[in-house]
Amino acid sequence: MSLHLGDKVPNFKASTTEGDIDFYEYLGDSWGVLFSHPADYTPVCTTELGRTALLKEEFAKRNVKVLAVSVDPLDKHKGWVKDINETQNCQVDFPIIADENREVATLYDMIHPNASATATVRSLYVIGPDKTLKLTITYPASTGRNFNEVLRVIDSLQLTANHSVATPANWERGEDVIVVPSISTEDAIKRFPKGVREVKPYLRYTPVPEGDAKK
């Protein structure tokens, strides 16, 4: 199955290191990050899961629930978690899905045959509270993901979902944003009381709307 931005993501039930879950029920009204790993006891994955655990408060601050998926069995996951906690100085307490039959991997198109016939690539999906796909990033198995970038794009997605703005290149939370082209400059001035800076008629900046500035 090929997923595109804006598609409703498929639901599934699975066994995880935190017990059995129904994906939709687990997410509830939260945002979600679902990310895949080629295999257990692999060095890059160990650092990725550790980094995710260390960012627990940052994900919680954004109302984001995370789940990892690997095509290895549950008992292997549990042993691996002990290694992750030891080597990365963390506490992994989010679900790692045991996907032995590759059901989730197939649903979310995580196996790319030209890269590997059996192992998942490093796919990451950001899912909104409406259960639609907001963003996907795919890395090869050899390259670890940048989770600061994951948080950055979540900040952008949440901001732009609530306001008629877009975020420029290299944008970071709290920086000025771009007024979307569908709003006239006249209307933008009324809508954004902090001010509108026009560089070109199609390129207008405004401070982050009230309530979304960096704390």
Mean pLDDT over each residue of the chain, to the nearest integer: 91
Q: What is the mean pLDDT of residues 10-33?
A: 97
- Give the sheet arrangement for strand 165-166, strand by strand: 165-166, 177-179, 203-206, 197-200
Angle between helices 147-162 and 43-54 (to 10 degrees): 50
Looking at residue 144, its amino acid is: G
Taking 80 as the threshold, does the pLDDT of residue 119 lie above it? no
For 78, list phi and psi in degrees, rounded to 5. -65, -40
Tens of pLDDT, residues 180-201: 999 999 999 999 999 999 999 9
pLDDT value of residue 101: 86
Please state which CATH number belongs to domain 163-206.
3.30.1020.10
Mean per-residue pLDDT, 16-45: 94
Buried b (16+ CB within 10 A) or exposed e, 117-135: eebbbbbbbbbbeeeebbb
* Residues with catalytic function: 45
Residue range 13-144 forms a domain whose CATH class is alpha beta
In the predicted model, what is the mean pLDDT of residues 3-11?
94
Q: What is the mean pLDDT of residues 27-35?
A: 97
pLDDT in the model for residue 93? 96
The length of the chain is: 215
Q: Checking DSSP bridges between strand 31-37 and strand 64-70, what pairing results, if any? A: parallel
Give the model confidence (pLDDT) of 65-107 as tens digits. 999 999 889 999 999 999 999 999 999 999 999 998 888 988 8
Q: Which residues make up the CATH 3.40.30.10 domain(s) of the chain?
A: 13-144
- pLDDT over 70, % of the chain: 92
